[in-house]
């Protein structure tokens, strides 16, 4: 369990709407976790695959770390712009 979400995919798929989704219902977003030859990967919105990870659980943790790092970069940039 990742916070209030069953999996990190739920967190990704149900998080805040994107800029172009204002006023619209959230659209379905594909799974970002996938497995190839018993190794796990995730895809970013930019289409970059991250991995391999030894298990789905490790890949889910890596996604959470990745999202947190991107959020921190955005917040830092916004503070510098002020």
Higher pLDDT: 4 or 63? It is 63
Domain parsing of the chain, residue ranges: 8-81
- Report CA dihedral (38, 52, 31, 61) to the nearest 10 degrees: 110
CA distances for 30 relative to 9, 11, 77, 81, angstroms: 9, 13, 28, 33
φ/ψ bin of 51: left (φ > 0), alpha (ψ from -120 to 50), beta (otherwise): left
The b-or-e profile of 21-43 (16+ CB within 10 A means b, else e) is eeeeeeeeeeebbeeeeeebbbb
Query: What whole-number distance in Å separates Cα of residue 31 and Cα of residue 19?
Result: 20
- Tell me the pLDDT tens digit for each residue of 28-66: 455 889 999 999 999 998 899 999 999 999 999 999 999
pTM of the full predicted structure? Answer: 0.60
């Amino acid at each position: 369990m990742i916070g209030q979400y069953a999996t990190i995919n739920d967190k990704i798929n149900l998080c805040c709407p994107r800029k172009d989704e204002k006023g619209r219902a959230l659209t379905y977003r594909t799974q970002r976790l996938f497995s190839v030859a018993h190794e796990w990967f995730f895809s970013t919105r930019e289409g970059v695959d991250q991995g391999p990870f030894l298990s789905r659980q490790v890949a889910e943790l890596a996604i959470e770390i990745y999202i947190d790092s991107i959020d921190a970069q955005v917040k830092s940039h916004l503070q510098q712009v002020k």
